[in-house]
Amino acid sequence: MASDRFHCPNSSSSSFILVGVPGLEAFHTWLGILFCSWYIVTLVGNGVVLLAIGLDNSLRSPMHCFLGMLAVIDLVMVTSTVPKMLSIFWLNSTETGYVACFVQMFLVHSTTAEESGVLLAMAFDRYVAICHPLKYETVLNRQTMVQIGLAILGRALLFMAPLTWMVTHLSYCRSCVVPHSYCEHVAVAKLACGDHRPSSLYSMAGSSLVVGMDMAFIAVSYGMIIKAAVEKKSCRKAFSTCGCHICVMLLYYIPGMVSIYIQAFDSSVAAWAQVLLADLYLTLPTMLNPIIYSMRTKQIRQAVLKVVFSRKVHA
């Protein structure tokens, strides 16, 4: 087997071998076409949203700033994984450097934490806008927005720094073959000849804490929003603007939690299914987020159409 031909000393000159989707090697070409298509749509969709927000002065509200943050995070997330996946699927370029692997790991898992933080901030934005509309501009002023952005970034770094330290300080003296299409930390840590359980436990506890707290606060925010919508007719129209946010949250949290807990606890699930689910979790929401917001948010939709058609006229 390939895993018997490689030796991974704990040094920056060693490499890992990413196998792609184990068990579906015969379909790698078709998987590459699928993920490449999604990647192009993600780049174009999020790029156009960022361009629209940057060029349209009417899109300067806190919600649009959060949407811009979400687009940037989505672009970083997919760009850190999909190009390497495509090189595996199409070019059989399976080798990745030791440092490159852990940089990818850091980017993937930090951006997932950041995205959860942005979704929480967006829920808070909707709560203030609907339940306390007169205080909206006072509460979510420029200084508060900067503080929220730094808090989202800082929390992700604080979560990932210990995990990165633990995983990089393991001794990799077994196989170099990672049964995954990117450097997922559990798959990489299992290759260590030492005890990898502390890093796995930290990852599980940290992920559960971050996601659990965010989901709890989001649920409380929407509970108050629904209560306000029921009690005040004036809030019902504003509540309709929350639909796209709810869709994005469901699209992000449900596949993410299923993927995390399947990899941690359910070994009966086939390896190809675990890897494919993890790949879909990183790529599908990032592709659909700009589509959902463009379709359901009138201001974004109009700004995107304005950008697209103005470019055609100038061309």
Quote the CA–CA distance of 220 and 233 in Å, as a whole number.
Answer: 20
pTM: 0.86
- DSSP SS3 for 243: helix
CA 15 – CA 177 distance, rounded (Å): 9
Location of structure tokens 């979400």:
70
Phi, psi for 17 (deg, rounded to 5):
-115, 115
What is the residue-level pLDDT of the chain in tens, covering all 315 positions? 444 434 444 444 478 999 999 988 999 999 999 999 999 999 998 998 898 888 877 778 888 899 999 999 999 999 999 999 999 999 999 899 888 999 999 999 999 999 999 999 999 998 898 888 888 889 999 999 999 999 999 999 999 999 999 998 888 876 788 999 999 888 888 888 877 888 888 888 888 888 889 989 998 988 888 887 777 765 555 566 677 777 778 888 888 788 777 776 656 788 888 899 889 989 988 998 888 876 666 777 777 677 666 655 555
The SS3 of residue 24 is coil
DSSP state, residue 97: E
Tokens of residue 66, six digits: 């959060």
Give the β-pairing of 177-178 and 15-18: parallel
Q: How would you class 274 by CB atoms within 10 Å of its CB: exposed for 0-12, middle for 13-18, buried for 19 or more?
A: buried
In whole angstroms, give the CA distance from residue 273 to residue 278: 9
Residue 177, beta-bridge partner list: 17
Q: Are 122 and 245 in contact (CB under 8 A)?
A: yes
89-110 CB burial, b ≥16 within 10 A, e <16: beeeebebebeebbebbbbbbb
Question: How far apart, in whole angstroms, are the C-alpha atoms of residue 153 and residue 268?
Answer: 36
Residues 6+ positions from 90 with CB-CB distance below 8 Å: 28, 29, 32
Residues contacting 172, CB < 8 A, separation 6+? 8, 9, 10, 14, 191, 192, 193
HSE-CB at 150 with a 13 A cutoff on CA atoms is: 6
Q: Record the tokens describing residue 87, joined without a space.
A: 């090189």
Per the structure block, which two tokens stand in for 31?
């998987």
